[in-house]
Structure 1
Amino acid sequence: MSSLLFRTLAAFLLAIVWALPGLAEQPSLKAGRTTDGPSGKAKPNKERPDAQPVLMTADQIVHDRDLDIVMARGHVELDQGGRILLADSLSYNMKQDVIIATGNASLTDIDGQVLFADYFELTGDMKEAAAKGIRVLMVDDSRIVANSGRRLAGDRSVFDMGVYTACNPCAEDISKPPLWQIKASRVIHDELAHRIEYEDAWLDVGGWPVAYTPYFSHADPTIRRESGLLPFSVLNNKVIGTGVRTPYFQVIDPYQDVTVSPMVTSNDDQMLAITDRLRTSNGEAKTTVSIANLSSQGYGGNATTGWNIDARAQFNLDQRWRAGYEIERASDQNYLPSFGYHIAQPYLTTRPYLEGFSYRNYAAVEGYSFQSLTTPVLPVGALPPQKSPIVLPLATYNFVGEPSSNGSYWSFNTHAANISRGQGTDSRRVNTDSSWNLPFTAADGEVYKLTTSLRADAYNSNNLTPQNSSQVDAARAIPEAALTWRYPFSRINEHSSETLSPIIMASASPYGGNSLKIPNEDSLDFELDDSNIFNPSPSSGYDRVVTGPRVAYGTQYTYVNRGLGAADLLLAQSYQVKPQTVLPQGTGLDKTLSDVVGHTDFSPSANVNFHYGFRVDESSLRMRRSEVATSLGPPALNLQSSYVFYDRLNASSPFYAREQLNTTLSTKLSRYWLAQIYQVENLGNGASPLQSGMRIIYEDECLLFSGDAGSLHTTSQTFATGHYFMLRIYLKTLAQFPVDLF
């Protein structure tokens, strides 16, 4: 182990209070786990092994009837009720009921634990034993080594001058001390209580003692979860100052547990979080709620009360139906980052749902509610955005029929939604789409798909504009026919294969259908790209439709070579008699000739990958969208980068033009060390780095160490540009020590 890691571990562990009596385990909750009541301890499968018959095998077995001693030599194996004793030689005194085993002796218990010793003295039922030079391999590959030991009643082992570690011995030098170990004058493994206890214990790191406790205990490997204190964590930022979280974990029963996490901070804030987990044979649920008393010192100068809830569940009602929910809410946009909660999206979502699956049918009823975590930056003179909608109910039904003898099949989709706001447009809608599909492959290899469909929609809205609050009804029916043709030309030789496929999709439907009486709720950010250009109806969502005669054409080329990798290229464009005037300018379909879209994927080897996707204005050749993603190099030295450029999608889109570059350089320094340098940079107006930092990770069988440091640049009024530092030390099977500083 490098001296840098040792000094870091030693300095950190010296700063903590080591003598926490038994940090609790909190692994995943498993349904149906057999436990001994609320402690959550596993019941070993011990069904009186001493009452089982004894099976002995050896190269030579001799029974001295005068002394009543059985002696065995060479590959001796003694098996009784799952306990297995192996040795080079063995003697069994039948009068005293004592077994003596020597030479490569090992005793495997019924739970998989293995005891090795130079010398074993056991009772006939192998439940009690004494040993010298003992070594224990536990079920999770952790180890105990001791000068001597005793096994009592088959469920309690006492080791004198013992050492415990989860680290493997050094392959080059087995005398070298492990990365970490606990040395104690006495180590006790209580299999009934499922605990390993230490008396007069020292924690050694790299062979150096760094912490002492007169008594320490932790759960043995058979425990998946146990009530008790969990490792504390430290958080620091400018809002709360320095905070310490000390969670307590309580097992309720085999299917449920609760974690209570109080936190106090240097800014005189107090926070309490409670997490409840439940898992049954029908589903699972997890709920986290927190409440905090926030001082005026760091929270915008005003004392207040903050809170959040994060709950999600899913339960199978029967073989076809399941129900669940996701609930995310917070008192304000700064509460979650203030207390170190990770936020994956700039909004919180609440979603109850009911789903049904039956062969070729799918049905769902759900609802949505959103809470924004950002403050939008509006152009001068722009109107404030409408409030986030509440969508309840949102119902969907999909059906795909059985193929007929000629391969044709029917499909039917229906969708209904009620969208309401406290301020803005409210709408109700029902959308249906039924289609007949006929896929067909000609004898010469041409591939066809004929689709005829009828779409019918009905809308009822009010508050369409600030000047019009009356209710408005609208309906439309759109028949459509589409034919897609592909003609793949292939060439295959010994080492490679090529396929060139011209593609044409022709569709026709009546013009119209995009009445201004229909609110545009889900088609605001439509953009033509290589994933939808060959769809007869490429628009996103339900509210806006692409109508009229339209032809999309393009070419796809794929190449696969056994030594040179693979490549895939696509280039496509569409033509329509009339531009889609209802679609805002910039969508790619607002002209007779659409923008040109395509992609290039190239992977010459497992260590080189390249992707480029684009949309180019057909008249000005101006780049509308550009996406580049690369991965270069093996794990020993790997560079990953992604570049995205989006012109402002259209005049009504809520998304503005943006240009961003993400770069990560990783190096696998060795089997255990990984280092990364990363940067996220805004290349658009006011170009500046958004985030930059470095990460180092060390992980082996017994230790996980990670450190993160960098700078974060945000537009949040509370979390402005600043620095962060995160440290994680996890002594596997023992404890973890996280520290987050912002």
Structure 2
Amino acid sequence: MLRRLTFALCLALTPLALHAQEAEPDPALLVADTVVVTPDERLIAEGNVEALYDGTRIWARRITYVSETDSLIIEGPIRIDDGESVVILADAAELDSDLENGLLGGARMVLDQQLQLAAVQLARVEGRYTQLSKVTVTSCQICGPKGVPLWSIRARRAIHDEEAQQLYFDGATFRVLDVPVMYIPRLRLPDPTLERARGFLFPSIRTTTELGSGIKLPYFIPLGDHADLTVTPYLSQETRTLELRYRQAFVNGDIELNGALTRDTVLPDETRAYLFGEGVFDLGNRYDLSFNFEVTSDESYLSEYDYSGKDRLDSEVSLSRTTRNTNLLAELVHYNTLRDNELNSTQPTIIPDLRYERRYQMANGLGGELRLGLLGHSHIRYSESDVRGRDVSRAGAEATWLNQWTFGTGLQMAAQAGLALDQFSTGDDTTVTDVDNSVTPSAALTFRYPFLRSAGGGARQLLEPVAQIGWVGGRDADVANDESTRQELDEGNLLSLSRFPAEDRRERGLASVLGLRFLHKAASGWEAGLAVGRVYRSTQNDDFTATSGLDNAASDWLFATHFRNTDGLYIQSRTLWDEQGEVSKSAARGAWANDRIDLGASFILLPADTDEDRDEKVAEWTFDGSYRFNRHWTVSGDAQYDIADNRAVEAGLGLAYRNECIEAAFTADRTFADSSNLDPFTTYGLTVTLKGFSTGGDAGSYSRTCKQ
């Protein structure tokens, strides 16, 4: 140890250190078991040699410094680590003292712990270029001396440009299991350290019954450090499509645009296209500006090319600000329907909306909290025909006081009182008043009495009865019901004074709510809960739909349950039962997830309701999930089944393989015929990605290990 330390200190006086100091890098450091200085001024370090110079570290059996040529002769096994992302292993080497030029024999270079390049000879040039002769490149794990990589590239010569982070190949052959598949005279690929490289990305194959078999070949173009463009030709027997994606990041936000241009045999005389865009910006002082827009040339283009499953497109721009005591949202939305049974001219198409709320803590008097709100809203139709072209605008102001108390017995009481003012203006509808307003006072008391109990084994239980009595005065303005056509009773609005989704309708009169909540949490971690509730009103409101659960003076019974355990299983359900025991609405969702399994199932039941534009009962099951067989293979699937019609709606299957050097995914999706889609269609997809390059990413836990 003393010998190593003494030599390390003396090395600063050697010609190697003096030469290094001319360029003013960090001084060289050398540690070895033995050191000899020969009469011909050669310095020989031998035995567990470790050298550090300008961030590069070398391990070797023997290093000889030749002062006459200012070079290093290194005998292996050799390991050279640049301290960042390049590791070189070699049998022997001769380098200059700056480690920037020289030759290495029997060399293997590893980039970013992913890509391996093995060569007969490796040459370093100017500290930037590494030239490899008779090279084999792969990111696959090779087991044993006779091991064969899953894929590899063999080339006559390869050059690694560290500054440009690029790999250049001459006379390259792409091999699968060492079998030649493709010869490429010239090939350029990004090394793993380059995050954004110009060039082709890995292609994908897509086959559909409508468009035939085709290939997508994306080309990535970086536009500076903060923007890029991806151009993807999509070619098949039936289509010629060019897909585009543009992204740009700014100091305070980012935008993304996606679109495509198509000429195909589906609509042979038309150019089909779509463009989606979105962006968000931080304007400072907690103001956020966001936008998105969605346009398409025809109704079926998005679904046929699997760009989107939406049948109503929305474009909007919004300004928002949220602080501890204020909330602001101003937005302008434009809708475009793609449904066959709807016309854009008679649908609410242009919708500006403004909402502002502020709260104050009342320190004196009654205490509690005061909330003040302002709102403005319009929905405009293109049509000017009477009733069908109706336009509505409304403005409102609201003040609400809230407070709550907990008494010594454990009883909790909450009180609220409010006043709302709304004014409506209606155009192109002679069945209602042009301008009308409403004044809505309200008040409510809510009582809770939680009972807590510690059960055997450390379990805990909560039983909480809830009761509310409320009153809402005033009358609804003479305005059409455009916004509150869908209502639903659930846990979130059980204690609301109005369960209409918008202010064009409000619940009026006396009402009371009775509810009960039960929660059990076991010591082992699993928990289960049940919530039951019902609303009783003094009058019946005819604006509630038949299946809302609220159309009678006494609402349907609300039952909501949930279950969760530590093994990743979660089940949630909600059902509305009327007094005759019939179900108004029911929905359930179950999921189970762990390291290998991710399963989910959903059920929904909606009885027929003409007020909700549902002439027939809807009952559907949906399933989705994946199972990881082992470290590399994963199968996934999804399905949708219409119980009411006794038919399958959609089904999909996927199979993926992933290891440290490749990722492959095969998908098959089937959409079955229904009343609006008479032609079922199937889509197949295949994508293969090679790991180890900048577009491939890191395999992480998917890496293979060799058997001992």
Which TM-score bucket, shorter chain as reference? Answer: 0.7 to 0.9
The AA in structure 2 aligned to 1:126 is: L
Partner residue, 1:558: 519
| Inter-CA distance 327–519: structure 2 relative to 1 (3 Å threshold) | same
Cα offsets for 1:428-451 (capped at 9, x unmatched): 111222211113333333333222
Partner residue, 1:540: 501
Find the partner of 1:252 among 223, 230, 246: 223
Find the partner of 1:220 among 191, 215, 228: 191
The answer to whether 1:725 aligns with 2:690 is: no
Alignment of 1:589-608 (within 5 A): 589-608=550-569
Contact 2:81 2:88 in 1 (8 A): yes
The AA in structure 2 aligned to 1:305 is: T
CA RMSD of aligned residues (A): 3.0
| Inter-CA distance 104–572: structure 2 relative to 1 (3 Å threshold) | farther
SS in 2 for 1:337: helix
The AA in structure 2 aligned to 1:211 is: M
User: How far apart are 1:458 and its partner, in Å?
Assistant: 0.8
Find the partner of 1:316 among 282, 286, 305: 282
Cα offsets for 1:437-478 (capped at 9, x unmatched): 1133333333332221111111001233xxx27861121111
Cα offsets for 1:472-509 (capped at 9, x unmatched): 11211111112222222112365321111112222212
Contact 2:531 2:560 in 1 (8 A): yes
Alignment of 1:16-415 (within 5 A): 51-60=24-33, 62=35, 64=37, 66-109=39-82, 111-139=84-112, 141-170=114-143, 173=144, 175-267=146-238, 269-294=239-264, 297-299=265-267, 303-338=269-304, 340-376=305-341, 387-402=346-361, 404=363, 408-415=368-375
User: How far apart are 1:313 and its partner, in Å?
Assistant: 1.7
User: How far apart are 1:174 and its partner, in Å?
Assistant: 6.8
After TM superposition, the score normalised by the length of structure 1 is: 0.83
The AA in structure 2 aligned to 1:720 is: D
Contact 2:167 2:189 in 1 (8 A): yes
User: How far apart are 1:683 and its partner, in Å?
Assistant: 0.7
Cα offsets for 1:711-730 (capped at 9, x unmatched): 21255867721222111111
For 2:115 and 2:650, locate their aligned partners in 1 and report how far apart those are by CA, in whole Å. 40
| Inter-CA distance 600–695: structure 2 relative to 1 (3 Å threshold) | same
For 2:392 and 2:303, locate their aligned partners in 1 and report how far apart those are by CA, in whole Å. 34
Alignment of 1:455-604 (within 5 A): 455-464=420-429, 468=430, 472-492=434-454, 495-510=458-473, 512-515=474-477, 517-563=478-524, 565-604=526-565
SS in 2 for 1:651: helix
Find the partner of 1:672 among 623, 632, 636: 632
What percent identity do the matched residue pairs reach? Answer: 21
Cα offsets for 1:309-341 (capped at 9, x unmatched): 211122222333232321101111112233x24
The AA in structure 1 aligned to 2:327 is: Y
SS in 2 for 1:317: strand
For 2:216 and 2:290, locate their aligned partners in 1 and report how far apart those are by CA, in whole Å. 30
SS in 2 for 1:720: coil
Contact 1:58 1:73 in 2 (8 A): no
SS in 2 for 1:336: helix
Cα offsets for 1:145-204 (capped at 9, x unmatched): 22331111111111222221222344xx57422222212232221223321122232222
Aligned pair count reads 670
For 1:181 and 1:115, locate their aligned partners in 2 and report how far apart those are by CA, in whole Å. 19
User: Which range moved further: 570-579 or 136-145?
Assistant: 136-145
Partner residue, 1:695: 654
Partner residue, 1:40: none
Contact 2:21 2:27 in 1 (8 A): no
User: Which range moved further: 350-359 or 727-736?
Assistant: 727-736
The answer to whether 1:434 aligns with 2:435 is: no
User: How far apart are 1:731 and its partner, in Å?
Assistant: 1.3
For 2:145 and 2:642, locate their aligned partners in 1 and report how far apart those are by CA, in whole Å. 52
For 2:353 and 2:113, locate their aligned partners in 1 and report how far apart those are by CA, in whole Å. 48
| Inter-CA distance 234–490: structure 2 relative to 1 (3 Å threshold) | same
Contact 1:638 1:667 in 2 (8 A): yes
Partner residue, 2:3: none
Contact 1:183 1:203 in 2 (8 A): yes
The AA in structure 1 aligned to 2:421 is: A
User: How far apart are 1:240 and its partner, in Å?
Assistant: 4.2
Find the partner of 1:706 among 665, 681, 685: 665
For 1:422 and 1:386, locate their aligned partners in 2 and report how far apart those are by CA, in whole Å. 5
| Inter-CA distance 156–48: structure 2 relative to 1 (3 Å threshold) | farther
For 1:604 and 1:272, locate their aligned partners in 2 and report how far apart those are by CA, in whole Å. 48
The AA in structure 1 aligned to 2:249 is: R
For 1:161 and 1:352, locate their aligned partners in 2 and report how far apart those are by CA, in whole Å. 58
Contact 1:49 1:82 in 2 (8 A): no
After TM superposition, the score normalised by the length of structure 2 is: 0.87
Cα offsets for 1:623-671 (capped at 9, x unmatched): 1122222235755456532211122466245686311011245332111
Contact 1:440 1:449 in 2 (8 A): yes
The AA in structure 2 aligned to 1:288 is: N
| Inter-CA distance 104–360: structure 2 relative to 1 (3 Å threshold) | farther
Q: Give unpaired runs (5+ residues) of structure 2.
A: 1-19, 384-388, 697-708
| Inter-CA distance 235–718: structure 2 relative to 1 (3 Å threshold) | farther
Partner residue, 2:12: none
| Inter-CA distance 53–436: structure 2 relative to 1 (3 Å threshold) | same
Contact 1:187 1:199 in 2 (8 A): yes
For 1:325 and 1:631, locate their aligned partners in 2 and report how far apart those are by CA, in whole Å. 33
User: How far apart are 1:602 and its partner, in Å?
Assistant: 1.3
For 1:144 and 1:61, locate their aligned partners in 2 and report how far apart those are by CA, in whole Å. 33
Q: Give unpaired runs (5+ residues) of structure 1.
A: 1-46, 378-383, 738-742
Contact 2:205 2:216 in 1 (8 A): yes
The AA in structure 1 aligned to 2:511 is: R
Contact 2:202 2:689 in 1 (8 A): no
| Inter-CA distance 123–385: structure 2 relative to 1 (3 Å threshold) | closer
The AA in structure 1 aligned to 2:230 is: T
Partner residue, 2:701: none
Contact 2:584 2:607 in 1 (8 A): yes
For 2:113 and 2:367, locate their aligned partners in 1 and report how far apart those are by CA, in whole Å. 55
For 1:648 and 1:304, locate their aligned partners in 2 and report how far apart those are by CA, in whole Å. 40
Partner residue, 1:17: none
Contact 1:56 1:76 in 2 (8 A): no
User: How far apart are 1:50 and its partner, in Å?
Assistant: 5.3
Contact 2:414 2:446 in 1 (8 A): yes
| Inter-CA distance 49–554: structure 2 relative to 1 (3 Å threshold) | farther
